[in-house]
Structure 1
C-alpha cells in the first residue's frame, strides 16, 4: 500500500468514526485537528467503529417524524433483490404487517408516536429493528404558547441555609424556598444537577461530575422529616443527643460545606430510619417502596449495588474512589464477584435503593407543591453533559463509553488552554447499536418531578470535543453525534412528560445546530453580560428572542457583584487560570468595554447610576445598583427570566471557578443568610415584587 493509499484509508477511518476534520473557533477561523491527534481519538473507540454503515438488511434503529412518509430501504448487497414479509409490533400492542416491495418497507404515514419493534423475514434471513416515531417539537406550556413572560430563581440547592438542615441545602429547604418564593410571584425554581454522586466519596462534590444521571444525590434527603426517622425511638434519642445537636449547630453555621461530615451524619440518621422502616413489614410505605424497586428495575439495582459495594470497600481500604480503583473482580457489574456481593449484602443494597426512594419521594413532593400552587413550570432540573469514568453509569454499560477519552472544550479566549472536564463520552456508534435506549432512559429519568429540563452544553447532541485521557485539552477533536435522532427522541419524551427543554448553548455554537434547536421548540440560554447587537451595543431587551431563558449569571460565572468589581479576575490570577498576561489584559479591557455599553443602556432607560459605579474594574457595586440592574433586565423579551439568590444578597464569591479543581473550594460556598432571613428582608422582597410586576407587564 502506498503512502497516499494509507493516508486515504486512515481518513476514511476517521470519517467512519465521526471525527470532524475541522471546526470554526470563536473568531470564525477554521481549525484542523492534526492527524496524530485524530489517531489517538480513533484508538479510544476500541474498535467500536463500523467499517461499513450498512452491515445488515435493516438499521438497528430508525427514527421517523409523526405524520410523515415512513419507509425503510433495505441495505442491498451486490444488488440483490429481497422478497419477504415484515411485522411491526406497536408500543400499544397492535401489530402491522406488510410485504417487501422493490427492497423497500412502506409503513403507514400515521404510525403512532412511540417505540415500536420491527421484524423482517426474507427467506432464511431474519432481521430486527427499533422504530421510533417522534413529534417535530418539544412540549411548550399553554402560557408559553400564549406568549406570557415567566420568571424564577436559579438555585444551587446545596447552598441554601436554614435553621433545620444538616449543613447543606436539602429537599426540605427546597420546599420552604418554593413556598416563600411563590408567594412573591415566582413561576419556577431551577436547580443544579441533582444526579447521584459518590456517598462513599463525599468530597467528590461537583454536580456536573456524577456517578450516574439516572438516579438522585442522596445527600439532599431531608432526614428529619422522614416518617421512619420521626417514628424511631432510637433515631430520636440519637438526634436529640447533645453531641449530635452540637455537630448540627456547627455544620449549620459554616460558610463552606463540609461534605464528609454532612454525609457521615446523614448516613447515621438514615441507617436508624431504615431500621425502623424494615420493622414495618406490612405497611403501605413498604408496598410503595416495593413498587419503586420494581419500576426501577436493573438500573436501580446497579446504582444501589454500586453505592453499597463502594461503601463496603471504602471501609476496608483507602483510596477506593471509583470502580477503577477497586479489586479487579469488582470492576464490572456483570462479574461473579459482584453477584456474590449482592447476595451476601442484601440489606446494604436494599438500604441504598431505599435512599433513592426517599430522595425521589421528597423531590416529587416539592413538585407536587408547585402544581398545587399552580406555578406554571414549578421546578426545572439540569442534566449534566456527561458522567465520571469510574461511576455507576459506566460500571454497568462499559461498552457504551470510551473510557480512554475525556470530554471538554477546545481553546478559546476565556480558556486558552482548553477545558478537560474529566467526563467519559458515549460512543455514538454503540449508542445507535443499543437503539438509543441509554439516552431515552436518561432523558426520561431527568424529566421526573419537573416542568422543564435544562440540558447542559446542548451542543453535545451534535458534537463533543474529545481528548485522550491525560492529554492537554488542546490536543482534541470534535466527534459527531446523530443530532436529528437525538432531538427527535428529546421531543418525544418532552411531549410525553409535558416537560419543556432549555438548551445551554453558550460559547461557540455551530450554525448546524441553531436552527435545529429553534425548530424543535428548544429554548436558548442567554446571559445578559454576553449579549451585544451587531453594532456592538448591549442588546436592547426588546430584541432578545422570545424562545429563550435569560439570566444575569450562572454557576460558572461571577455573581453580579463579582462581575462588576472584576473579582473573578482577581481569583483567576490567584489560582493561575490566566497564565498569559496578554490574554488577561484583553479580557479585562473587554470587561470595561462591556460595562460601558451596559451603563449606556441603563442611562437610556433613565436609571440613576449611584456615585462610585462606573465601567472600571475598581468600580463599586452597591446593593441598590445590583438590584436596579436585575430589575432592568426583568423587562427582557425572553419567555423565561431567572435570578440567583446570591445576587439578591449582593454576594461576591462564586460557587465555582472553571479551570480549577482543588485550588478553589468549588461547589462548597453557601448563601450568607438563612431562608427565613432572605425572605424577611424588605430589600429582597421589594426586588422580587418589582420583578414579578415587570414580567407581567412586558
Structure 2
C-alpha cells in the first residue's frame, strides 16, 4: 500500500525525496490528501530554455534604487495613508541621487470592505489594484471641499485602515457621482477613456467589481467581506441571487470598476514620471505568491484554485513549526489545461506599468509547500509547479521588464543555478551572505542579483542594530530568555563583522548607530558585484518600526507602521543625503571603469 501511495503521490507532483535538505518524510496522511486533491497533472511541452529580459545597458554597469512601502509615506495632502501622489513627489528626489528604480510592496487588490486585513501579501485578486493607492486630489472632478466632508485620521505612527478606507471611498464616491452627472470639472475625454477601459477589461474586471459591491453588502449584513462566510446562494458567481444583485446594484458595480480605471491610470502615470525623470527601470513592483481563499479571484473562478490546501513553508531555523500563510494555491492541472492564461494575466497586470517585478517566494516557481486541511504546517509537503518559470521568462520578454526572485528561506539545491541560467535575478541580503571564511566579499556576489541590507520581513537597520525584533519575539513568547540572549550575542558578532567588512572598527558595535555607520554599510552593499542594489527607505530616514514580524498577525501591528519623516522632509534628511551620495558614487564607479571589476574600493 505504501509503495502504491508513493507512486500516486509522485505522479500527482508531490516531492517525496529532498536530498541535501535534511527533511522529515512526508506522512501517509498528507500523501493521501494531496493525491485526492491534485489528481495527475497533464504532460507539459518541453521548456524552450529562453532567458529572461535584462536591459543591455545593465550588462555594462550597475544600478541602484530605493525600496519602500507605499502606505508608510506621510504628507500634509494625503488622507492618512501613502498614495501615488506622495510617490510622485519623491520621484525627483530619488532621481537626483541617480536612482534607476523604486521598489514597492504589492499593490494588489485587498478587501475594501475589510480594510483591517491589511497584508499586501494576502490579496483578493492579483490582477486588480488596491484603490487605497489612489491620490484622491489628483482625480478629475475632485474639489478641496470634499476633504472637509471626512475625518482624516492621523498617521504619525500607524495607518488607521478603517478610517482611511471610509474617508477615501466617501470622497471617491462623490467624485464618481460627478463623472456620471456630467460635471464640467470632468472632461469628456476622461469619461470616454473610462468607458473604453471598462470595455477593454471585459467580464473579468466586471466580475471583480461585482464581488466588491457584494462584499460591501455582505459585510454590512454581518456575513463578512470574504465569500466563504456568505449565504450559500451568493457563493456561486452564476446563481440567480447574484445575478439579481448585479441588476439591482449597477451603480455600485460601476463605481468599483471606475476605481480600477483611476488606479491603473495613476499607476501608469507614475511609471511614466519615473522614466521622464531619468530612471532607466522605474517602478519595481511586487508579485504575491498567492491569493486569499475567500477573495474575488477564487469566487469568480473556483475551479482554478485548489480547495482544501493552503500555501505555507516547512519548519526552519526561524519557524520551528513551519508557517501557514493561509493562501489558496492555483491548480497545476488547471493552469496546464488553460495554457497558463490565468497565470499570464496575473503577470501582465503586474508588469504592465513596471520595469521590474519581484516574485515573492520565488521557489514557488518550481515547488510550493502545501498544507492539507486538518493538518499543521509541519505536516505539509512540497508539490511541483510545472511550467511557471517559462511563463515568467516569456512575460519579461513581452513586457521588457526584469524579474527578481525572492529566493530567501529554504532554497532547494540547484535552484539558484537554474534561476541564473534563465537570467531570473536572485536576492542577496548582505548580512546573510556568508561562506566558510565569514562574510562574503563584495566581489563574490552573483552578477544577476539584487543586493540589499534588509527587506520588509527583516527589522529596519536601526531596529536591527538594537535587536528590537529579538526583544519583540521574546515579549510575545516566541522565544525564551536563553534564546534571546544567544541571538543578541550573535547580533553583536554580526554588527562587528559588518563593521569590519565596511572598513570601520568592530568596537563600534557597542555604540549607537550613527550616520557614518549607515553610510558605510550601504557603501558596502553598493560595492557588491550584483547588478542591482536597493536602499530601503526606512534604513536611511531613521525608521525603527518593524513592517512585519513573520509568524504574527494582530499580535504585532504588521503593515501599519509609518515612516518617521514626511515626504517633504525625506530629501532634507542628512542621513538620506549622505547615504544616497555614498551609494551613488560607488555604483557610478562601475560605469566609469567600463568593465566588470573583481572589486571596487
8 A contact 1:255–1:671 mirrored in 2:
yes
The aligned residue for residue 321 of structure 1 is: 225
From the superposition, tell whether residues 593 and 504 of structure 1 become closer, same or farther in structure 2 (CA, over 3 Å): same
Give the Cα separation in 2 of the matches to 1:632 and 1:64: 38
How much is the aligned-residue C-alpha RMSD, in angstroms?
2.0
From the superposition, tell whether residues 14 and 589 of structure 1 become closer, same or farther in structure 2 (CA, over 3 Å): farther
Cα offset for 1:575? 1.7
Give the Cα separation in 1 of the matches to 2:543 and 2:138: 30
Name the SS for the 1:227 alignment partner.
Answer: coil
Answering whether residue 362 of structure 2 is matched by residue 458 of structure 1, we say yes
Aligned residues: 587
Cα offset for 1:267? 0.6
8 A contact 1:451–1:498 mirrored in 2:
yes
8 A contact 2:499–2:508 mirrored in 1:
no
Cα offset for 1:227? 0.9
Cα offset for 1:394? 0.8
From the superposition, tell whether residues 408 and 586 of structure 1 become closer, same or farther in structure 2 (CA, over 3 Å): farther
8 A contact 2:542–2:564 mirrored in 1:
no
Alignment of 1:79-94 (within 5 A): none
Give the Cα separation in 1 of the matches to 2:228 and 2:45: 35
Which has more strand, going by share of residues?
A: 1
The aligned residue for residue 567 of structure 1 is: 468
Answering whether residue 161 of structure 2 is matched by residue 259 of structure 1, we say yes
Which has more helix, going by share of residues?
A: 2
Give the Cα separation in 1 of the matches to 2:19 and 2:110: 35
The aligned residue for residue 58 of structure 2 is: 144
- Normalised to the residue count of structure 2, the TM-score between the two structures is 0.94
Answering whether residue 35 of structure 2 is matched by residue 42 of structure 1, we say yes
Give the Cα separation in 2 of the matches to 1:310 and 1:161: 29
Cα offset for 1:533? 2.1
Alignment deviations for residues 91-149 of structure 1 (CA, whole Å, 9 cap, x no partner) = xxxxxxxxxxxxxxxxxxxxxxxxxxxxxxxxxxxxxxxxxxxx701111122132x11
Instruction: Pick one of 395, 415, 421 that aligns with 2:299.
Output: 395
Cα offset for 1:514? 2.1
Instruction: Pick one of 213, 235, 241 that aligns with 1:331.
Output: 235
8 A contact 2:122–2:327 mirrored in 1:
yes
Q: Which runs of 5+ in 1 are unaligned?
A: 1-5, 54-58, 66-134, 231-235
The aligned residue for residue 268 of structure 2 is: 364
Alignment of 1:272-671 (within 5 A): 272-280=174-182, 283-315=188-220, 317-469=221-373, 471-482=375-386, 485-535=387-437, 537-578=438-479, 584=484, 586-602=486-502, 605=503, 607=504, 613-614=509-510, 620-671=512-563
Computing the radius of gyration from Cα coordinates, the structure with the larger value is 1
Alignment deviations for residues 507-553 of structure 1 (CA, whole Å, 9 cap, x no partner) = 12112422221111110000011001232x11111111110000100
Cα offset for 1:594? 2.8
8 A contact 2:289–2:360 mirrored in 1:
yes
Cα offset for 1:436? 1.1
Q: Select the structure with the greater relative contact order (CA < 8 A; seq sep ≥ 6).
A: 2
Cα offset for 1:438? 1.0
Q: Which runs of 5+ in 2 are unaligned?
A: 591-601
Give the Cα separation in 2 of the matches to 1:454 and 1:211: 19
From the superposition, tell whether residues 480 and 253 of structure 1 become closer, same or farther in structure 2 (CA, over 3 Å): closer
Instruction: Pick one of 127, 133, 145 that aligns with 1:237.
Output: 145
Give the Cα separation in 2 of the matches to 1:254 and 1:471: 41
Give the Cα separation in 1 of the matches to 2:587 and 2:198: 43
Cα offset for 1:650? 2.3
8 A contact 1:168–1:252 mirrored in 2:
no
Give the Cα separation in 1 of the matches to 2:515 and 2:579: 11
The aligned residue for residue 15 of structure 1 is: 10
From the superposition, tell whether residues 162 and 550 of structure 1 become closer, same or farther in structure 2 (CA, over 3 Å): same
Give the Cα separation in 1 of the matches to 2:137 and 2:552: 35
Name the SS for the 1:20 alignment partner.
Answer: coil
Name the SS for the 2:499 alignment partner.
Answer: helix
Cα offset for 1:319? 4.4
Give the Cα separation in 2 of the matches to 1:514 and 1:255: 38
Name the SS for the 1:22 alignment partner.
Answer: coil
Give the Cα separation in 2 of the matches to 1:417 and 1:685: 43
Alignment of 1:103-142 (within 5 A): 136-142=50-56
8 A contact 1:575–1:660 mirrored in 2:
no
The aligned residue for residue 105 of structure 1 is: none
Cα offset for 1:253? 4.4
Name the SS for the 1:664 alignment partner.
Answer: coil
Cα offset for 1:180? 1.4
Give the Cα separation in 1 of the matches to 2:489 and 2:570: 35
8 A contact 1:170–1:222 mirrored in 2:
yes
8 A contact 2:218–2:225 mirrored in 1:
no
| 178-187 or 524-533, which deviates more | 178-187
Alignment deviations for residues 378-410 of structure 1 (CA, whole Å, 9 cap, x no partner) = 110000000110001111121121221111111
